[in-house]
Amino acid sequence: MRSLVLVCLFACGSSTTKPAPAKPDRMDTFTINGYLLAGAEYWPYVGTEDIKYPEAVLWGFYPEAGVIGPGEDTPNAETANPKAVACARTAYDALRAFLSSDPPKLRQIVERGADKGYVPRFYLWTNDYTRAATPYPPGVREARLWYWKRKEPAPPKPPGYWKWESTLTQSGECQIPRAEQIEKTLGDELASIAP
């Protein structure tokens, strides 16, 4: 029995790192390592015109036409493209993995930048260019991590959000934030709040 316990201690592992939370069946808000994913938005681009904000933006993880997204006042104008939802899911899973790793630079930014409007809140943003012209004159948005701050404080709303932005291209390719872009953004944000 004693040897079985020793074997289990060795085989079962005694690592201090936390395993990544199990993947949920559906996208939803979550908190990992103190970071909150508060919601999701879809930006469907059509033809050659830039999107009309906010009326053409679709709100929620699974936007449906006529349904009011969480925290919004008006119903979604249309139902999200299933391919865009699949791309959002890919980005969602990547964000969960990213936050599960508890990136040191992100932690430093949130801790040092609290008085400068940095908070540990994320929003999932998915661009859908499948109905956009090729080329798209206003330009296709890059998949990236970035921080959005309110111009004017509006309590009780948060002062900003980290945006985890993915892009579904005209050809249907799903692009999510890349490691080198994430690292550069975190480095630049950290440098901007350095004492």
The burial class, CB within 10 Å (0-12 / 13-18 / 19+), for 167 is buried
pLDDT tens, N- to C-terminus, the chain (195 residues):
444 333 333 333 333 445 556 778 999 999 999 999 999 999 999 999 999 999 999 999 999 999 999 989 999 999 999 999 999 999 999 999 999 999 999 999 999 999 999 999 999 999 999 999 999 999 999 999 999 998 888 888 899 999 999 999 999 999 999 999 999 999 999 999 987
Is the pTM here over 0.85, yes or no? yes
Rounded Cα–Cα distance for residues 44 and 85 (Å):
11
The CA-atom distances, in angstroms, between 62 and each of 177, 182, 189 are: 21, 26, 31
The pLDDT of residue 163 is 98
Whole-number pLDDT of residue 21: 60
